[in-house]
Amino acid sequence: MSRHFRAEVLARESLTPRHVLLRLRPLENSLTPVPGQFYLLRVSQTLDPLLRRPFSIFSFEKEEISFLFIRKGRGTEILSNLRPSDQIEVFGPLGRGYPLPEQEATALVVAGGMGIASLFPLLKAIRKDTVLIYGAKTKSDILLKEQLNSLEYVKTIICTEDGTEGIKATVLEPLDDLLQRHTDKNITVYACGPDGMINAVKRMIDHYSLKGFFSLEERMACGLGACLGCVRKTQKGMKRVCREGPVFSGEEL
């Protein structure tokens, strides 16, 4: 099986005016991804736009693969206009995903904005009592509420910066509250979101001496680490987000 394959569009659903769920059916045998890995999608049959667009895997079934993204440029606008039966070139899965928590560990998942797209398949894979702290700027940026409610083992805490959904707070306030009250240190924290959030969550778990895994957001071109366009500084030197990541342990960062 190859990481390069063609896929047919099954459906393109607008969750909000800005957020799109794209469902594809691979037309060739494809590799099974793990939560946290990503794919590169070619948005046009021409060389304009030239570069493929990277997206975290949102869902994978035997006959279907899906991606959740936000319209924010020409490439995502083209993808958001695909119709059923259209075909697209896909490259993946790529990168390093999230390791599942140890059986005795409590999983605490922190999603900032579109970070939920990367973390949703992890929530489905953990399959045991888990706390999700899901934050965004405003109510319209909170997605997948029905899907999250269907995961009976996931307790979801929603917060928005303007207070229009859930509690008025960033993800850091409920996270710190939970960690202060949780005397058991066998906790694994998973996080994906903007860099500022990632850095703050990293400082917090270091303070409590906890294990953590972080998915970093970065521009990616080749997906194989050859172009060095997504290099980040880590505790262990310069690392390529597309190759050594996008998921890094707290010790690495």
What the block records as the tokens of 94 is: 């790529």
Nearest-angstrom CA–CA distance, 34 and 122: 8
* Sequence spans of domains, the chain: 4-94, 106-249
pTM of the predicted model, to two decimals? 0.93
What the block records as the tokens of 197 is: 């959030």
Q: Which amino acid, 47?
A: L
What burial class does residue 135 get, using C-beta atoms within 10 Å of its C-beta: 0-12 exposed, 13-18 middle, 19+ buried? buried
Name every residue whose Cβ is closer than 8 Å to that of residue 79 and which is 6 or more positions away in sequence.
Answer: 20, 22, 41, 43, 53, 69
Overall CATH class of domain 106-249? alpha beta
Angstrom CA distances, 236 to 94, 98, 203, 252, stand at 21, 19, 17, 6
Q: Closest Cα to residue 170, out of 138, 140, 202, 143? A: 138
Q: CATH topology of 4-94 equal to that of 106-249?
A: no
pLDDT by position in tens, the chain (length 253): 678 899 999 999 999 999 999 999 999 988 999 999 999 998 766 555 656 788 999 999 878 999 999 988 888 888 888 999 999 999 999 999 999 999 888 999 999 999 999 999 999 999 889 999 999 999 999 999 999 999 999 999 999 999 999 999 999 999 999 998 876 778 999 999 999 999 999 999 999 999 999 999 877 666 777 777 778 888 888 888 888 889 999 999 8
The CATH number of 4-94 is: 2.40.30.10
Nearest-angstrom CA–CA distance, 29 and 2: 7
Nearest-angstrom CA–CA distance, 17 and 168: 24
3-state DSSP percent of the chain in helix, strand and coil, to 5: 20, 35, 45
Phi, psi of 34 (to 5 degrees): -115, 155
Instruction: Tell me the residue ranges of DSSP E strands in 42-163.
Output: 53-56, 59-61, 64-70, 87-94, 106-112, 130-136, 154-160
Nearest-angstrom CA–CA distance, 29 and 72: 31
